[in-house]
Structure 1
Amino acid sequence: MRHRAAHLGDFTVRPRMLLITGGALLVGGAGAVAALALLRLIGLVTNLVFYQRWRVSLVAPGLHHPWWLVLGAPVTGGLVIGLMARYGSEKIRGHGMPEAIEAILTGGSRVAPRVAVLKPISAAISIGTGGPFGAEGPIIMTGGAIGSILAQALRLTADERKTLLVSGAAAGMAATFNSPLASVLLAVELLLFEWRPRSFVPVVGAVAVSTVCRGLLLGTGPIFPVSAAGLHTGGAVDALCVLAGVIGGTLAVAATWLVYRAEDGFARLPFHWMWWPAIGGAVIGLGGLIEPRALGVGYDVIDQLLTGRATVSLIVGILVVKTLIWSLSLGSGTSGGVLAPVFMIGGAVGAAEGLVFPQVMPGFWAMMGLAAVVGGVMRSPLTGVVFTLELTHAWAAGLPLLISSTAAYALSVLLLKRSVLTEKIARRGLHLTREYSTDPLETFFVEEVMDRDPDILDRADTLDEALMRTLRAGEQPDDGQRLFPVTDGGGPPYAVVSRRALLDATSRAVNNGAPATVADIAAPVPVVLRPDDTLRRAAYLFAEHGITEAPVVSVERGIVGMVTLPHLLHARLHDLTEEHHRQRLLPRQAPASDGDGGTEPAPDRLKINADR
């Protein structure tokens, strides 16, 4: 029966999808170039600040620098970012993904052009002066800004602008990490808030173009290659992956808590937020004096962790220092991403587990920790798994990664209301859910909930006749059906009349002494529904035309019913029943007969129609 709703436009592939896909391909190429430019800019700032040389290669800040440079560089970078945010655009503050989500949900997917310029520059300054952040958050915002700017130059809907914005964001991610599948998953799990061809196809197109361009510019190999040849995990190792996920999830919860406690602490400071990134920079500098390898984007450290070459001192230093300076400085509102630090922190906790867990292969437990912390911090377990696989190309580790990431995700859901990505949005007064399910209104048809015995008027009826016909026995004037289809000798409705209009017209006719008919007061019918329309389409039409009732017309039988707003709640009631009603379907003893030899049926979709 479900094929009857295929005529609806909500789920058909529209020709405009091809136009948006064409725009997404352009955005994908631009996103790849922007990602390369950001990486080069980070390398340039790092080389200038810590090595006093003019190079663009991506390097670590290093181990041997004067204390005043390690401490002063992040503070200076924070001062510059604060000035840029105050006098340029406040949108450059933060790690990029909450800002992109907020632009989608509340800003009509509009991003100011200056953000596309200021965000990568601020991120390069933040990371290049020692900030323990990643490039992916800023490139998400930058790529999203590129897509949004193109969309704003065209005549597009807000949903189409969203598609191009997300296409740019996903393209930037794919080019940064050579991770097309994870970038598409990130778009679906975090940014699109839907899974429809109209958005999925353009995003994949943008990611594909970006990945191809990335291969031409930076190569096609994995960022952190790990050899998993001959990897075989048994039940004992898989069980330990659950424990690894729980430990990673606990760290994810703690880091998320630290980020927002830090944000609360900065918000209580008695001076302007422009100065907060400089204070965050002081925290970074102090951490750098303890563990210099915690500074910067840290790709070299992630590589050591995932390949099993990290020393105990590095593991402990990253686990403690990196977690603290990243969490505390991010709360200051500086510019920088979360993924690379999460990769490093997760790899460190996994490497620490590898010191006591059974040896599987070099870097195995670091991979488990990485996927777990990503799944817990970002609440994106599938993205965590696929990211880890694409970063390492250790495809044989898919099942253990899935176990660890999901365990961490489950723990995070149980202990925290929101993720590090959505808490900031919630604090700005926006309720956000990322749980996907079928709309109950889409699973019911109009004919299943409609009033099958509506009052129907004829255009030739007098007002007195119409009023008597519409006042059923025992009803008050404001009860029951309030809108009445009007026909011309039967057949489909050509107009409608409300009960209020009938009462008012009857009162005027009595006072004036002039007879009147229904045709004199009838209004054109605004909406006609069909029995095989879904309740979702009915709700859209009600909202579009500002109505609360509509006749249901069959081609063969004419008017067959009326649908009102309360009828739409029947689908929600059914959804609540399925979610909360608990019953035993297989009884412990022989089931009691219902008198006809059968057993009591479970509540189902027909139950809600029993009294109509």
Structure 2
Amino acid sequence: MRSFHMPAAGKWMLLAMLIGLLAGLAAILFETMISTAQHFALNRAAGFIMTEAEAQYSPLPDVEGELAPLGLLAVLTLGGLVAGWLTWRFAPEAAGPGTDATIDAYHNKRGDIATRIPIVKIITASITLGTGGSGGREGPIAQIGAGIGSWLAKRLHLSDRDRRILLATGMGAGVGAIFRAPLAGALFAGEILYRDAEFESDVIIPAAVASTIAYSVFCFSLPPEIRFVPVFGDEVQFVFNSPLELIPYGLLALVLVAAGVLYIKSYNWIQQGFQNIRLPLYVKTATGAFLAGLVGLGLYYSGGKNPQLLTVLSGGYGMLQSAFSAPEKIAISTLLAVAFIKMLTTSLTIGSGGSGGVFGPSLVIGGCIGGAVGKTLQGIAPYFVTQPAAFSVVGMAGFFAGCARAPFSTILMVTEMTGNYQLLLPTMWVSTLCFLMMRPWTLYAKQVPTRLDSPAHRGDFIVDVLEGMIVEDVYQHHRKLRMIQESTSLNEIVHLLAKTSQRYFPVVDKQEKLVGIFSSDDVRSYLYDDVIWEIANARDVMSTPVITITPQDDLNTALSRFTSLNIDELPVVAPEDPQTILGVLRRKETIAAYNRRRLEHKQATADAAR
């Protein structure tokens, strides 16, 4: 495998297919473990029966029971304790969402994820989510898939660059499988790494292949009636009637931005608070799960035992399904209560170190806020807003696009999860507004602004800058350069060295055409042999062929030629006649030009940030 290079498409197709197969199997195992934990811990032990999205599937039979509040608190706390202890004991890196740790491994750890991490993550996340923790599946499966890609790269002894690509490929494959959104999974892998509108282009094609394979493998584990069906079913259909509807959707974006900033700040504040507490991780996760349970039960009883309010615990996709299919049965107050309390329960569950993602809760939060805004605007202008449930779909995408700084993959993911492409324009409109207005905030602290800021691309930046500058703009055209005729004796050359600071001397013939070059170091070996001074001439000490550069060559080419023979000066020759010398380019001039351009870029970036 190491004998292949990036242009070898067969290598990447083979590796991507293998990662897709493994990630798909991991997604099946992960989903099965969550379903099993929910069945025995929540349904049977606590009597907590969750409503799910239409096409979500559990192989275990449904049970009926009555909610036992103390049992639910015990299950939540015990789940947090066990998951936290396993993380603390075997893989502290697996604490929290998982996506941030994966992004950090890509940028700062050369794509290296310890093999134990995905193993521990799949267990702890299954326990956390299966016992009612408010979290999503995307963070854990992203880290699990990324761990598979990193493991495979290490087994094949691939380069750091290849390992990073396979890490991101595995991340996209896992996300594409678990959410049944293969195209979005591929874009997610390339987009989530950066805070600005930037893509990791090398990742997109292998991630698309791997995500498609993983999605297919995962779907074949489902019953035929829901196989290849979007998560929220194929009956979620809305229409976009008029461009004028973009006005209320613009108002929705403003509300989502305010809610997104609140969510990020509360999540970071709670997470920092738990980090400042000097207790073992498992004590923190148990405490966070217990507090989340108290908050959820408090909302449930204060709302008249409304079962919809318990979606602030566990996944919450059932609430979204109801918001799509029967919005008239959900009060605005219920939607807002679920949205804002879900922020708190998620922050407590994940911020304390619990294993779960933030994508799933973000969809619930954004969908509920969108539904509430849609119903409110319908009450104000019923002829203008005819489909308030459509605001739930758009709100899902806009909220996470702003919070995660990933607009394109989020737009596509929500579209694939709902199977509705008619809302693509308002979804893009709201997601773009949220992305632009939430620029200073992000859920993922390990994101870097652009490729230029990533340690994974430090060398790329040097090449990009140098390739954007040409020799013509750098070398000194009017510098006086001493040429040496090829017949000049060594005696004359030795005496010339004592009178000039010039280090490299082009050798020319009678027509002033370049035939060779020598340096003062080349002459030094003859200094103590004055017998040969009158016998030897410039042709005897010069080197041929001469490595030259033209005015239109870029500085990256020049630097490569400097380093090929470890020389400090290059003759600049005419493009149409490589024997006509125009001047000389010095290595220190090239480096100085690069430093100037780098400082200019840094200043421009700082000015743009202001």
Q: Given the two structures, how large is their TM-score scaled by the length of structure 1?
A: 0.77
Query: Is 1:222–2:230 an aligned residue pair?
Result: yes
Residue 21 (str. 1) matches residue 46 (str. 2) = no
**CA displacement at 1:457 relative to structure 2:** 6.3
**What is the rounded CA distance, in whole Å, between the counterparts of 1:117 and 1:579 in structure 2?**
41
| Counterpart in the other structure of 2:578 | 557
Residue 445 of structure 2 aligns to which amino acid in structure 1?
Answer: T
Structure 2: runs of 5+ lacking an equivalent: 46-56, 300-308, 379-384
Cross-structure match for 2:263? 255
One-letter identity of the residue aligned with 2:26: A
- What residue in structure 2 maps to residue 307 of structure 1? 325
Deviation at 1:317, TM superposition (A): 3.0
TM superposition shift of 1:579: 8.2
User: Is 2:226 aligned against 1:190?
Assistant: no
Deviations, residues 155-202 of structure 1 (Å, cap 9, x unaligned): 321111111111111011111111122112212212389757643322
Alpha-carbon distance between aligned partners in 1 of 2:551 and 2:63, rounded to the nearest angstrom: 68
Match of 1:451 among 466, 476, 485: 476
Contact 1:539 1:568 in 2 (8 A): no
Partner residue of 2:160 out of 158, 161, 166: 158
TM-score normalised by the chain length of structure 2? 0.78
Matched, 1:343 2:363: yes
1:396 to 422, 431, 444: 422
1:308 and 1:362 in contact (8 A); partners too: no
1:139 and 2:141 aligned: yes
Mapping of residues 147-546 of structure 1, within 5 Å: 147-191=149-193, 198-218=202-222, 219-225=227-233, 227=235, 231-289=239-297, 290=299, 291-309=309-327, 311-312=330-331, 314-358=334-378, 359-361=385-387, 363-413=389-439, 416=440, 418-422=441-445, 439-452=464-477, 455=481, 462-466=493-497, 468-470=499-501, 484=504, 491=514, 531-538=551-558
Describe the SS at the equivalent of 2:356. Answer: coil
Is the 8 Å Cα contact of residues 375 and 388 (structure 2) preserved in structure 1? no
Q: Deviation of residue 320 (structure 1)?
A: 2.3
Match of 1:103 in 2: 105
Give the Cα separation in 1 of the matches to 2:233 and 2:388.
12
Say if 2:403 and 2:442, in contact at 8 Å, map to a contact too.
Answer: yes
CA distance in 2, matches of 1:87, 1:231: 51
- Aligned to 1:357, what secondary structure does the other structure show? helix
Alpha-carbon distance in 1 for matches of 2:515, 2:175: 55
Counterpart contact for 1:549–1:565, Cα < 8 Å:
no
The CA distance in 2 between the partners of 1:184 and 1:135, in whole Å, is: 17
Give the direction of change, closer, same or farther, for the CA distance of 1:531–1:234 in structure 2 (3 Å limit): same
| Separation (CA, whole Å) in 2 of partners of 1:71 and 1:182 | 36
- Secondary structure in 2 matching 1:557: strand
Q: Distance in 2 between matches of 1:367 and 1:545?
A: 61
Q: Give the Cα–Cα distance (whole angstroms) in 2 for the partners of residues 529 and 543 of structure 1.
A: 13
Classify 1:581/1:111 alpha carbon distance in 2 versus 1 (closer, same or farther; 3 Å): closer
3-state SS, counterpart of residue 504 of structure 2: strand
- Tell me how far apart the structure 1 counterparts of residues 437 and 456 of structure 2 sit (CA, whole Å): 18
- Identity over the aligned pairs, expressed in percent? 23
Could you say if the C-alpha distance between residues 521 and 131 of structure 1 is closer, same or farther in structure 2, counting changes exceeding 3 Å? farther
Contact 1:75 1:281 in 2 (8 A): yes
| Letter in structure 2 aligned against 1:236 | L
Alignment of 1:116 onto 2:139: no
Report the Cα distance in structure 2 between the residues aligned to 1:67 and 1:544, rounded to whole angstroms.
73
Which region of structure 1 is more displaced relative to structure 2, 173-182 or 523-532?
A: 523-532
Cα deviation digits, residues 72-125 of structure 1 (max 9, x gap): 222212211221122101111111111111111111111111112111111101
Q: Deviations over 1:187-240 (max 9, x none)?
A: 221238975764332222212222322332232111113657672332431011
How far has the Cα of 1:389 moved from its partner? 1.1
**Per-residue CA shift, 1:252-307, capped at 9, x if unaligned?**
11111111111221122233344211121122111221242211122222222233
CA contact (8 A) 2:193 2:447 kept: no
Does structure 2 retain, via aligned residues, the 8 Å contact 1:109–1:165? Answer: yes
For structure 1, which segment, 190-199 or 320-329, has the greater mean C-alpha deviation from structure 2 after superposition?
190-199
Q: Give the distance between the partners of 1:128 and 1:103, measured in 2 at CA.
A: 27
- Is the Cα contact below 8 Å between 1:463 and 1:518 reproduced in 2? no
> Does the CA contact (< 8 Å) of 1:466 and 1:518 recur in 2?
no
What amino acid is the match of 2:151? I
Deviations along 1:441-462, one digit per CA (max 9) or x if unpaired, are 4433334433345646659573
**What letter is aligned with 1:145?**
G
Cα separation, partners in 2 of 1:136 and 1:573, compared to 1, 3 Å: closer
C-alpha distance in 2 between matches for 1:58 and 1:534: 65
Letter aligned with residue 476 of structure 2: D
| TM-align CA RMSD | 4.1
* Structure 1 gap segments, 5+ residues each: 1-11, 472-482, 583-612
Using the alignment, how far apart are the partners of 2:60 and 2:334 within structure 1? Answer: 20
**Residues 31 and 543 of structure 1: is their aligned pair in 2 closer, same or farther, counting only changes over 3 Å?**
farther
Return closer, same or farther for 1:102/1:451 CA change in 2, 3 Å cut-off. same
Distance 1:127 1:569, change over 3 A: same
1:87 paired residue number: 89
Given the superposition, is the C-alpha separation of residues 374 and 536 from structure 1 closer, same or farther in structure 2, using an over 3 Å criterion? farther
284-293 or 96-105, which moves further after superposition?
A: 284-293
Secondary structure of the residue that 2:444 maps to in structure 1?
A: coil
Cα gap change, 1:195 to 1:294, in 2 (>3 Å): closer
- 2:148 and 2:42 map into 1 onto residues whose CA distance is 31
Amino acid at match of 2:348: L
Q: Secondary structure at the residue paired with 2:323?
A: helix
Deviates more, 1:96-105 or 1:362-371: 362-371
Q: Secondary structure at the match of 2:158?
A: coil
Q: What displacement does 1:469 show?
A: 4.1
Does the CA contact (< 8 Å) of 2:96 and 2:353 recur in 1? Answer: yes
Partners of 2:133 and 2:289 within 8 A in 1 = yes
Q: Structure 1 residues 196-205 or 152-161, which shifts more?
A: 196-205
